[in-house]
Chains A and B, each alone.
Chain A
Amino acid sequence: MELDFSRQLHFFWALLPEIILCTFGMVVLVAGVSGKYKDADKAPSGDPSFGTTADLGWLSLIGVLIAAGANGWLYGVKEVGQDSMIALDHFRLFANWIFLLAAALTILISFAYVYRQRLQAGEFFALILFATAGAMFMAGARDLIVIFLGLEVMSIAVYALTAFNRRDRKSAEAGLKYFLLGAFATGFFLYGIALTYGATGSTNVAVIATSVSSGAATAGLLTIAIALLVIGFSFKVSAVPFHMWTPDVYEGAPAPVTAFMSATVKAAAFIAFARVFLVAFNDSYTTWFPILWWLAAITMVSANLIALVQTNVKRMLAYSSIAHGGYLLLALTAANPTATAGMLFYLLVYTLMNIGAFAIVISVAHQAEERQYIDDYTGFGWTNPALGVFLTIFLLSLAGFPGTGGFMGKIYLLQGAAESELWWLMVILVLTTVASYWYYLRVAWLMWMKNPTSDGQHDLVITPFPMRLALVVCVGLIVYTGIFPGAALEFARASVQGLGAFGGGIVGLAP
């Protein structure tokens, strides 16, 4: 099938996965307030089947699976030209796999949490689906306005999710912080779009690229526009110095939402970041190269240093996610096909290991927000061997130990950086990775090398079936990509083909 966007109906086919997700989101939302589902608040706690929460959760999961089917179907569809408003390239489809995987895993790990916390299941799962659809719009957009709309669909849903637990002060506070700073960043992002439009006369990524390479664009306006867009994106990918909201929001938000946020929001921002800067502003590479170089360097160094002194696990993982954002910025700075494929691979692995780690944090916290300190993990490994081994694998992968997906991801990022000769950034990545071993392995050491502080400290840890399923998927894929990375990498390489030009060929630009 071939799509040309002069016919309106073809937009429908091109956006099929997003439309399916939105439809299921609305169905789940309505189901959540009708019939027996609307009294979820009054259900007895301790029901092992999680009552009506489970029904709505499985329904949302079916929606994600059908959307995944539609995403697979899009591989057989070709587009005419490369300048339509909606992209149909494999870059978008690969990104969609990451978002759908993150959504499915988040739904699986939140069953017990939503039930125990007496949250409105219909609204919770519907918002997850809407946020995922927003992320997919961002990945599929080839127009700055569509990127903006996708960003807002995703962000507004995530603001609501962050403040979702209305009985919890921390959740409300985190929601307010995220909302104010997120909307603030949106202002910068939008101003960047307006100035790009002023400089080039279009918001279409392909048209902007032509205008920039032919020199028709107004140089001064374009430089300011690039700077503003970098600020807007940096807030969303939480690059230092625009990261100050991240630890607070990650700590205060409901834990499954934190897992979702750290995976999907970051991945969607990076995908859109890559498309705008590698395609539209490809010929201004010399303008944005130094900005991203410094952002990557500062982010890697400071996030890893601050993470060393954290005592709260959710905060520690928040700084760890900022640090991983720094590693991914290295790939953007390198701006060549190898680095971009490495970025896709790393985003996939990062989604798996981060959601996996948060799933265990939720378990240890009794499906609530109770025990979040690193000291609460003493002796955890010996009382819950399976969970202990899983968490150790996630931590080793986050740290980048050989044999895990995280290690292979870092190798590919380094390979991409080497092609653009970014030697200093590579040195910083290796050194900060070594430093990060300390805070990841400290948790593992407490788990295995110390005795529990009191008898029965870990008795109340429950891992229901859906969460076990998610954990097995995460561990399986991390070990698989760590030992046989070939298939996933080839897939990522093929997905980057046809994305557009890459300016990273200009080497020796180090500031």
Chain B
Amino acid sequence: MITEALVLSAFLFVIGTLGVLVRRNAIIMFLCIELQLNAVNLSFVAFSRLHGMDGQIFVFFVMTVAAAEAAVGLAIIISIFRHYKTVDVGNFKLLRW
């Protein structure tokens, strides 16, 4: 049971990673990062079956941090949208990537 959950979690994490690397829309990239964090949450919950409650408590910390990150991240995306009228990172060429 734990192995299956860990494999699923690794799979989701890889999807998230590939998403960030392949997609060019800032909001989709951010969604993929959230997917990574939630994949990690799944691992924490799976491991907590082995090691006790701690893992489940960490999930709440991760969720809180992800919420704070979303607030700041979306604000930054809005601020850049006001300048460029787009959120496609391919269009931001003032600084060389």
Which residues from chain A sit less than 8 Å from chain B, CB to CB? 145, 148-149, 152, 156, 159-160, 163, 166, 169-170, 172-177, 179-180, 183-184, 186-187, 190-191, 193-195, 197-198, 201-203, 244, 247-248, 251-252
Contact A191 B97 (CB under 8 A): no
Query: When the two chains form the complex, which single residue of A160, A173, A194 contacts B72, counting CB atoms closer than 8 Å?
Result: A160
Segment 32-77 of B: residues with Cβ below 8 Å from A: 33, 36-37, 39-40, 43-44, 46-47, 50-51, 54-55, 58, 61-62, 65, 68-69, 72-73, 75-77
Q: Which residue of B lies closest to A252 (CB)?
A: B95
Report the Cα distance A365→B22, complex, angstroms.
Answer: 37
Q: Which residue of B lies closest to A250 (CB)?
A: B95
Q: Which residue of B lies closest to A198 (CB)?
A: B47
Query: When the two chains form the complex, which single residue of A166, A184, A191, A248 contacts B95, counting CB atoms closer than 8 Å?
Result: A248
- A-B CB contact pairs (8 Å), 14 listed: A148-B61, A160-B72, A163-B75, A169-B94, A172-B80, A173-B94, A176-B26, A180-B26, A186-B69, A194-B43, A194-B58, A198-B43, A198-B50, A201-B51
Report the Cα distance A251→B95, complex, angstroms.
Answer: 8
Distance (whole angstroms) from the CB of A326 to the closest CB of chain B: 21
Contact A180 B95 (CB under 8 A): no
Q: Is B89 part of the binding interface, using a Cβ–Cβ cutoff of 8 Å?
A: yes
Distance (whole angstroms) from the CB of B40 to the closest CB of chain A: 5
Contact B20 A149 (CB under 8 A): no
Contact A187 B37 (CB under 8 A): yes
Chain B interface category by residue count: 35 or more
Query: When the two chains form the complex, which single residue of B20, B40, B46, B97 contacts A244, counting CB atoms closer than 8 Å?
Result: B97
Known pairs A163-B79, A202-B54 / 16 extra A-B pairs, C-beta < 8 Å: A149-B61, A156-B68, A159-B73, A160-B75, A163-B75, A163-B80, A169-B84, A180-B33, A187-B16, A187-B36, A190-B37, A191-B43, A193-B40, A194-B43, A194-B58, A247-B96
The main secondary structure of chain B at its interface with chain A is helix
Which residues from chain B sit less than 8 Å from chain A, CB to CB? 6, 13, 16-17, 20, 26, 29-30, 33, 36-37, 39-40, 43-44, 46-47, 50-51, 54-55, 58, 61-62, 65, 68-69, 72-73, 75-77, 79-80, 82-84, 89, 92, 94-97
Contact A179 B76 (CB under 8 A): yes
Known contacts A152-B65, A183-B30; is-contact A252 B16 (Cβ 8 Å): no
Report the Cα distance A100→B17, complex, angstroms.
Answer: 36
Contact B79 A175 (CB under 8 A): yes
Known contacts A156-B68, A198-B43; is-contact A191 B36 (Cβ 8 Å): yes
Report the Cα distance A179→B87, complex, angstroms.
Answer: 14
Q: Which residues of B contact A172 (CB under 8 A)?
A: 76, 79-80, 82-83
Report the Cα distance A179→B47, complex, angstroms.
Answer: 29
Query: When the two chains form the complex, which single residue of B13, B51, B76, B89 contacts A175, counting CB atoms closer than 8 Å?
Result: B76
Report the Cα distance A16→B10, complex, angstroms.
Answer: 39
Contact B20 A180 (CB under 8 A): yes
Report the Cα distance A160→B33, complex, angstroms.
Answer: 18
Report the Cα distance A183→B26, complex, angstroms.
Answer: 12
Contact B80 A180 (CB under 8 A): no
Q: Which residues of B contact A169 (CB under 8 A)?
A: 83-84, 94
Known contacts A152-B69, A163-B79, A183-B73; is-contact A177 B95 (Cβ 8 Å): yes
Question: Which residue of B16, B46, B51, B72 has the most chain A CB atoms within 10 A of its CB atom?
Answer: B72
Contact B68 A152 (CB under 8 A): yes
Contact B54 A248 (CB under 8 A): no
Q: Which residues of A contact B96 (CB under 8 A)?
A: 247-248
Contact B92 A176 (CB under 8 A): yes
Contact B73 A197 (CB under 8 A): no
Q: Which residues of A contact B72 (CB under 8 A)?
A: 156, 159-160, 179
